[in-house]
A and B are shown apart, each in its own frame.
Chain A
Amino acid sequence: GSADQKVKSKLKNPFLKVEDRRCRYRPFYLQLSSFPVVNYSNPRPCSPFDVEKKNAHGQKHIHNKQRNPTNSDREKRPNQVPPKHKRRKGYCECCMKKYEDLHAHIESEQHQKFAKSSQYQVVDDIISKFSCDFLELRENTPNVKRRKCNV
């Protein structure tokens, strides 16, 4: 049986191990090079757990920002969003399927079939109870006449 082939391994310090008290599940653990320390000398508002090289704080920060312009951009313009992060990979809950490319998947036959299916009735039922406060712009005559929207 498996007991013959049992291989045991000691965790290396420092570590953290979490297990179910009834031993029904696989333990999970983390071995660190060093345990976290509250670093009071990190400049505000940085996390006290920010791991920066002790000697070259400031430099490292600047370096990081240069390397990652999207992030520093975001800090300056909180209400606008930097260009899209192309997250193409993912999992489709509708098709119960992993995909490599979001757009390719959405256009796939299987997904399109779902998209046009009656599965969305549960959403439409809710939508049907809304009333729209907004006026509808008439096609190609914006800002002239409006009627109540009826979408």
Chain B
Amino acid sequence: MRDPAGEIGWVVTVGQPTLEPLSPGVTRVLEDEKDKEEKSPLVMEAIHLDEKPPSNAENSFKKHESNKKGALTDIEKLYQAVPQLANVFRIKGKIGEGTFSSVYLAIGHLRGGREEKVALKHLIPTSHPVRIAAELQCLIIAGGQDNVMGVKYCFRKNDHVVIVMPYLEHESFSDILDSLSFEEVRNYMFNLLRALKRIHHFGIVHRDVKPSNFLYNRQLQQYALVDFGLAQGTPETKVELLKIIPSETQQRSSAYHKSPLTMGSQVTSPTSRQLVHQSATKTANKRLSSISQTQIKQGHKRKEDPDCHCVQRSVFGEKNFNVRSSAFQGRSTVKQPRIMDIPVRKLSVKKKATSVVNNGLGKKAASSTQAHLTCDCYAKDSVCTICLSRRQQVAPRAGTPGFRAPEVLTKCPNQTTAIDMWSAGIIFLSLLSGRYPFYKASDDLTALAQIMTIRGSRETIQAAKTFGKSILCSKEIPAQDLKKLCERLRGKTTNFDNSAGDVQMHPSQEFPLTVGIGNVSDSAFHASKKHIQYQKQSTHEDGGKEKKTLQKSSDPKGWDRVPNSAYDLLDKLLDLSPATRMTAKEALLHPFFRNVKQ
């Protein structure tokens, strides 16, 4: 499976739960989902996409026809939901589908009569109006420049909102990863960082930076960062509406999907997590509602210390989601009795799936006075009923596991634009190593374990201290040299003129490089064959440069001449500590980008 993140276009907002790589414990539930998917009307959809776009008359005829058959295609449903669309656009087909939106390709006519392709993003009708408005505001304020997607128009009918954006035809990252030249990679990163510099300048944390949200047209050398559906504001954000989207709401992804699943041998109960998130979302939405009703601009700054959530009422006067005080419990029981069930897990650590047991103890132990009780499990390889009955920390974690920064994975409540820089580093890691997705994890701690495998356990633990987290790892894993790692993973076509001793063998890992080195002629042949293919594709672009490269280098794509500055930049983007991680602005000035053509 090459692309769990989904290259289906560009609104794959949160890691699509039904497509994510599955840990063994969750497989059954999700496979049921897949079975259902496979039965969906593939054929109908395909035919529809190939059809001539319907005119209004055709469209209503078709509606009639399919109504008779009892099934409407997605396009027809969209025309029905937002009838104004039919007056302006011919919708050609669906080009993307994520958890919170679907994207369609459509054609409209500009004033001069010229046709223009647009992308229509249809938001899920359960989105809160303030969230919708915040996404629009991001596009308006930051978009349309420096590789950030802009917006042309927006349609609404009731709860259906469709955002009209310029269409950029784009590559699938996994399809082109193998054929990119080193120079293309440099340009790609430069342009990604330009987009991030721009949104960070406006105080927008994107939260879901990954290849499918960074459109890339190789031929035109055009780029666009898309999808602000999960964006959050920094305390200084210039996008006013982001200030009134409490970050808790961003967890709608977890509230949606992670709920009924048990994550392998993780004892933390997903059910309880879901309930906490659910109540968090509720509270957050109360804020949203009250604000959108009154339209008051609040100078509310989200408090970073989560303690203030549990003792005080928030400035909006609602109860706090993170409390398990008996008062709150009593009040909530009327409406939502389940939310206040405090699940105390039976400590069945040897079992794969864990059972949730409500023994009453948890309720007592979790009352606000006892929530701070300490036990002797801290930084030790044990857990007990005391520490497990504490309330769960709620921190934003929307996004895709493999792209989440360590501070996101460890639920650090104070998250900054640095989390996007980490994600950019992960993309860079994919580009340099030729591996995508690089990390493959269905849950946060597996992702963290994989990060530790690359960046070192000691280093990760040390960095986590700087953001208030203690990580205990049963195994010490050394940090990898990024250059050696990437070159080995790329399975260099090159190293034949470099010293082979450059690559350090790790005794514990099997390393098939010997095979590669043994067959130098084979790999050289392979490389030249690939190069011919690539030249065919790209005669128009970079012709001159390619020739130059050919003369200087044995690898036409320049992969034998990756400067050390590349790995230095990678190291600074994958800084485990968010406080020292390189910013987009700094990264653009990094020596790696010297002489990059803009």
Beta-carbon contact of A26 and B387 below 8 Å: yes
The complex places the Cα of A90 from the Cα of B159 at a distance, in Å, of: 16
Beyond A38-B453, A90-B256, is A16–B87 a contact (Cβ under 8 Å)?
no
Write out, one digit per residue, whether chain A residues 27-62 have a CB within 8 A of any chain B CB (1) or not (0): 111111101111111101111111100000000010
Given the complex, which residues of B lie within 8 Å of A87, measured CB to CB? 18, 99, 256-257
C-alpha gap A9/B512 in the complex (Å): 41
Interface size class of B (residues with CB under 8 A): 35 or more
The smallest beta-carbon distance between B64 and chain A, in angstroms, is 14
A20 to B371, CA, bound (A): 13
Given contacts A27-B388, A48-B489, A140-B57, contact A96 B266 (CB under 8 A): no
Q: Are B108 and A19 in contact (CB under 8 A)?
A: no
**Is the beta-carbon distance between A94 and B156 smaller than 8 angstroms?**
no
Distance to closest chain B CB from A68 (angstroms): 7
B421 CB to closest chain A CB (Å) equals 21
Indicate which residue in A44, A68, A93 contacts B126 across the interface (CB closer than 8 Å): A93
B453 CB to nearest A CB, Å: 5
Assess the B374–A23 pair: CB atoms within 8 A.
yes
Q: How many Å lie between the Cα of A69 and that of B374 in the bound state?
A: 51
Known interface pairs A38-B453, A45-B177. Does A17 touch B389 (Cβ–Cβ under 8 Å)? no
Q: Are B252 and A25 in contact (CB under 8 A)?
A: no
Chain A residue with minimal CB distance to B155?
Answer: A151
**B384 proximity list for chain A (CB < 8 A):** 6-9
Of A25, A47, A74, A96, the contact of B435 (CB 8 Å cutoff): A47
Partner among B3, B154, B252 whose Cβ is within 8 Å of the Cβ of A91: B252
Q: Closest CB-CB distance, A134 to chain B, in whole Å? A: 4
Question: Beyond A16-B472, A70-B38, A106-B125, is A96–B285 a contact (Cβ under 8 Å)?
Answer: yes
How many residues of chain A are within 8 Å of chain B by beta carbon? 109
User: Is the pair A9, B382 in contact by a Cβ cutoff of 8 Å?
Assistant: yes
Chain B's nearest CB lies how many Å from the CB of A80?
A: 6
CB A107 to nearest CB in B, in angstroms, measures 10
A20 to chain B, nearest CB (A): 6
Indicate whether A37 sits within 8 Å of B453 (C-beta atoms), given known contacts A91-B126, A120-B156, A139-B56: yes
Among B267-326, those with CB < 8 Å from A are 267-268, 278, 281-282, 285-286, 288-289, 292-293, 295, 306-307
| Interface status of A109 (Cβ within 8 A of chain B) | no
**Is the beta-carbon distance between B158 and A116 smaller than 8 angstroms?**
yes
Which A residues are CB-close (under 8 A) to B491? Answer: 44
Taking CB atoms, residues of chain B closer than 8 Å to A112 are 158
Query: Are B126 and A102 in contact, with the CB atoms below 8 A?
Result: yes
A40 interface neighbour in B174, B295, B512, Cβ under 8 Å: B512
Contact A30 B445 (CB under 8 A): yes
List of B residues within 8 angstroms of A80 by Cβ: 49, 93-95
Task: Name the interface residues of A3-26: CB closer than 8 Å to any CB of B.
Answer: 3, 5-26
Binary interface encoding of chain A residues 98-131 relative to chain B, with 1 for a CB under 8 A from any of its CBs, else 0? 1100100110000110111001111111110010
Interface stretch of the complex, out of B4-12, B230-238, B579-587: B4-12
Kindly state whether residue B110 has any CB partner on chain A within 8 Å: yes
Which residues of A are found within 8 Å of B386, using beta-carbon distances? Answer: 2-3, 6
Cα-based distance from A13 to B113 in the complex (angstroms): 68
- Distance, CA A22 to CA B333, complexed state (A): 30
List, in ascending order, chain B residues with CB within 8 A of A119's CB. 129, 289, 292-293
Q: Is the CB of B465 within 8 A of A84?
A: no
Q: Is B131 an interface residue (CB 8 A)?
A: yes
Interchain CB contact (< 8 A) of A85 among B33, B108, B265, B510: B33
Cα A116 to Cα B485 in complex, Å, equals 56
Task: Give the residues in chain B near A95, CB-CB below 8 Å.
Answer: 126
Contacts of B446-502 to chain A: CB distance below 8 A: 446, 448-450, 452-454, 464-465, 468-475, 477, 480, 485, 488-491
Contact partners of B541 in chain A: CB under 8 A: none
In the complex, per-residue mask of B356-399: 1 if CB is within 8 Å of any chain A CB, else 0: 00000100110000111111011101111111111111000000
Question: What B residues does A11 contact at CB under 8 A?
Answer: 349, 381-383, 474
A132 to B441, CA, bound (A): 43
> Known contacts A16-B474, A38-B485, A93-B281; is A123 also within 8 Å of B126 by CB?
no
Partner of B56, one of A18, A40, A142: A142
Name 25 A/B residue pairs within 8 A (Cβ), A-sorted. Answer: A1-B364, A7-B385, A9-B347, A11-B383, A13-B381, A19-B378, A24-B371, A26-B268, A29-B266, A31-B267, A38-B480, A41-B512, A44-B489, A45-B174, A47-B436, A70-B38, A74-B8, A75-B175, A78-B9, A96-B282, A115-B125, A123-B136, A127-B136, A130-B154, A137-B88
Given A9-B382, A112-B158, A133-B116; 20 other pairs, CB 8 A cutoff: A6-B384, A9-B384, A10-B382, A16-B452, A18-B464, A19-B379, A26-B388, A28-B445, A30-B445, A50-B440, A75-B174, A81-B102, A89-B257, A93-B131, A94-B126, A121-B295, A123-B161, A125-B133, A126-B137, A134-B108
